[in-house]
Structure 1
């Protein structure tokens, strides 16, 4: 599919918190103006190309690991 939504039940994650897009051969994570920010490997980001194994934080409670399989 061209679009997929993930809903997280956490009050610190904005309803439209972040988006991942595949652009020019890379996956890029975009923060969508979230209140509690998006972090990659501990650094706040607005737009960040992702690498396999990157640690993504959506607010203080949600931790994800980006994996290419």
Structure 2
């Protein structure tokens, strides 16, 4: 996590789909009003990662561009509500 109350935190994503949102069952739980309960998902298919906005109020951004769905790569910045995080693909490290 690059900014926000969780700055410095790291999250291990699930092998297929990882939820991001305010809901406590989310893989990446971000407890803030700028984050929807079910905000976005990170999906991995055949080693290719993508992020999908789930109809959130404040949107999902990849490298400062608002997206509905899009590929993400090692080093890309995701913004969910007021939180900014960097995607690290462990196979690239």
Fold conserved (TM > 0.5)? yes
Aligned residues between the structures: 68
**Matched residues in 1 for 2:88 and 2:36: separation?**
23
- More relative contact order in 1 or in 2 (CA 8 Å, sep 6+)? 1
User: What do the CA deviations read for 1:9-48 (whole angstroms, capped 9, x no partner)?
Assistant: 1110000000011123301100000000000000000111
Distance apart, 1:64 and its partner CA: 0.6
- Verify: 1:47 aligned to 2:69, yes or no: yes
What is the alpha-carbon root mean square deviation over aligned residues?
A: 1.5
Q: Which runs of 5+ in 1 are unaligned?
A: none
- Verify: 1:18 aligned to 2:40, yes or no: yes
Q: Which runs of 5+ in 2 are unaligned?
A: 1-13, 19-26
